[in-house]
Structure 1
Amino acid sequence: MRDARWLTARRAAVYGALLALLPAFYLFAGFVRVFAADGVGAPTDFLSFYTASVLALDGRPVDAWDLQQHGAVQQAIMPSGRLPFFYPPPFLLLCLPLALLSYKVAFGLWVLITGGAFVAILSRYRVLPWPAIIALVAFSPATLLVAVAGQTGFVTASLFAAAGLTLDRRPMAAGALIATLAFKPQLGLVVLPALLVGRRWQVIAFAVATGIGWVALSSMVLGWESWTAFASALRVAGEGLSGDGVVPLWQVQSLFASLQLLGAPRGVAMGVHLVVALGAVAAALWVVTRRPGGQGEVAAMAAAAPLVTPYVFVYDLPILLVPMFWCLAQARQAGFLAWEKFALATAIILPAPTMYIGQTFGISLGPIPAAIVLALVLRRAGILARRTA
Structure 2
Amino acid sequence: MISEETREEWLGMGESRHWLNAERVTSYSKIFIALYIAIAIGWVAMSREGISPNGKPLGYDFITFWSASYTWLHGDPADAYDLSKLFEVQKLAVAGTTTPFAWFYPPTFYFVILPLAVLPYAASYLSFVGASFLGFIAAIRKIVPVPNALLAVFAFPGVFVNAAHGQNGFLTAMLAACSLMLIESRSVRAGALAGLLVIKPHLAVLFPLAFLFSGQTKAAMTMIISALVFTALSISAVGIESLKAFIENMALARTALEAGMLPWIKMPTVFAFMRLLGAGITASYAAHIVVACLVAFGVAVAWFKRWPFYLRASALLTGSLLITPYLYDYDLVWLAFPIAWIAIDGLRHGWLKLERETLLAAWLSPLLVPSMANLSSIQVGPLITCLLFLTILRRGIYVANRAEKECKN
TM-score by length of 1: 0.91
Deviation, 1:349, is 1.3
Counterpart in the other structure of 2:219 = 203
Taking only the aligned residue pairs, the percentage that are identical comes to: 27
Q: For 1:336 and 1:119, locate their aligned partners in 2 and report how far apart those are by CA, in whole Å.
A: 26
The equivalent residue for 1:331 is: 346
Residue equivalent to 2:13: none
Q: State the alpha-carbon separation in 2 of the partners of residues 305 and 33 from structure 1.
A: 37
Which one of the candidate residues 103, 116, 124 is aligned to 2:142? 124
* More displaced stretch, 76-85 vs 110-119: 76-85
The whole-number CA distance in structure 1 between the counterparts of 2:60 and 2:287 is 33
Deviates more, 1:327-336 or 1:4-13: 4-13
Letter matched to residue 41 of structure 2 = F
Q: Look up the SS of the partner of 2:184 in the other structure.
A: coil
Query: 2:39 matched to 1:26?
Result: yes
* More displaced stretch, 24-33 vs 109-118: 24-33
| Alpha-carbon shift at residue 173 of structure 1 (Å) | 1.6
5+ residue gaps, structure 2, are: 1-15, 52-56, 405-409
Q: Name which of 330, 334, 337 aligns with 1:319.
A: 334
Distance in 2 between the 1:218 and 1:88 partners?
9
Q: Pick from 164, 174, 178 the counterpart of residue 148 of structure 1.
A: 164
Q: Which residue of 2 aligns with 1:104?
A: 122
- Partners of 1:287 and 1:34 lie apart in 2 by 48
- Counterpart of 1:171? 187
Residue 232 of structure 1 pairs with residue 248 of structure 2: yes
More relative contact order in 1 or in 2 (CA 8 Å, sep 6+)? 1
Q: Residues 293 and 213 (structure 1 numbering): CA distance in 2 closer, same or farther, change over 3 Å?
A: farther
Cα 1:202/1:295, change in 2 over 3 Å: farther
1:385 CA drift (Å): 2.0
User: Is 1:192 the equivalent of 2:208?
Assistant: yes
In the alignment, which residue of structure 1 is the partner of 2:105?
87
Shift of 1:124: 0.4
Equivalent position of 2:82 in the other structure: 66
Shift in Å, 1:35: 9.7
Number of the residue aligned with 2:12: none
Report how many residues are paired.
383
Give, in whole Å, the separation in 1 of the partners of 2:205 and 2:389.
15
- Alpha-carbon distance in 1 for matches of 2:182, 2:278: 44
Q: Give the CA deviation at 1:5.
A: 2.2
Decide whether the 8 Å contact of 1:344 with 1:373 is kept in 2: yes
CA offsets 1:209-266 (integer angstroms, 9 cap, x no match): 2112201211221112221111111111111221254x23333221111111111111
Q: 1:307 aligns with which of 319, 322, 329?
A: 322
More displaced stretch, 42-51 vs 100-109: 42-51
Contact 1:287 1:300 in 2 (8 A): yes
CA contact (8 A) 1:290 1:382 kept: no
Q: Tell me, which stretches of 5 or more residues in structure 1 are unaligned?
A: none
Alpha carbons of structure 1 residues 26 and 138: separation in structure 2 relative to 1, 3 Å:
farther
Displacement of 1:36 in angstroms is: 7.3
Give the Cα–Cα distance (whole angstroms) in 1 for the partners of residues 20 and 148 of structure 2.
18
Structure 2 vs 1, CA of residues 29 and 280 (structure 1 numbering), >3 Å: closer, same or farther? farther
Cα pair 2:78 2:242 within 8 Å, conserved = yes
> 1:278 and 2:296 equivalent?
no
The Cα offsets for residues 147-167 of structure 1, whole Å up to 9 and x where unpaired, read as 111111111111121122101
1:203–1:32 Cα change, 3 Å: farther
Which amino acid letter does the alignment assign opposite residue 388 of structure 2? V
Deviation digits for residues 296-349 of structure 1 (CA, Å, limit 9, x no counterpart): 322111111222111111000011111112212322321222221111112111
Provide TM-score, normalisation by structure 2: 0.87
Distance 1:28 1:381, change over 3 A: farther
More deviation, 86-95/17-26: 17-26
